[in-house]
């Protein structure tokens, strides 16, 4: 597992190592962790090419919401159900 908190004080070499490990994890993702979160009752956030610049929040019951970043508060907010 990679800890994003280590980036605050990382040297350029450590940052490069972090992103190499992170990219490897992403390229080998089989969806198992997302499925586990859904099974345990937690929503997941995914990218969907049909909604560029937005995130999709998927709930364990299958409900999906289109999210956008509200620049005023710096938080993701629900734009609409999809």
Strand partners, 44: 58
For residue 35, tell me if it sits in a domain: no
Q: Using one digit for the tens of pLDDT, what is the confidence trace for 12-51?
A: 999 999 899 888 888 888 999 999 999 999 999 999 999 9
For residue 36, tell me if it sits in a domain: no
Among 6, 25, 23, CA closest to 15: 6
User: How far are the Cα atoms of 15, 25, 62, 64, 70 from residue 18, in angstroms, in the given order?
Assistant: 5, 11, 33, 31, 28
Q: Using one digit for the tens of pLDDT, what is the confidence trace for 39-82?
A: 999 999 999 999 999 999 999 999 999 999 998 988 999 999 99
Q: Which domain holds residue 50?
A: 41-82
- Residues 50 and 79 grouped into a single domain: yes
State percent of the chain over pLDDT 70. 98
- Residues 25 and 45 grouped into a single domain: no
């Amino acid at each position: 597992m990679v800890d994003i908190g280590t980036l605050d004080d990382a040297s350029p070499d450590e940052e490069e190592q972090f992103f190499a490990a992170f990219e490897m994890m992403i390229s080998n993702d089989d969806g198992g962790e997302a499925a586990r979160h859904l099974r345990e009752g937690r929503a997941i956030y995914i990218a969907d090419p049909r909604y560029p610049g937005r995130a999709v929040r998927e709930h364990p019951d299958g409900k999906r919401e289109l999210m956008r970043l509200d620049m005023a508060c710096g938080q993701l907010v629900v734009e609409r159900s999809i």
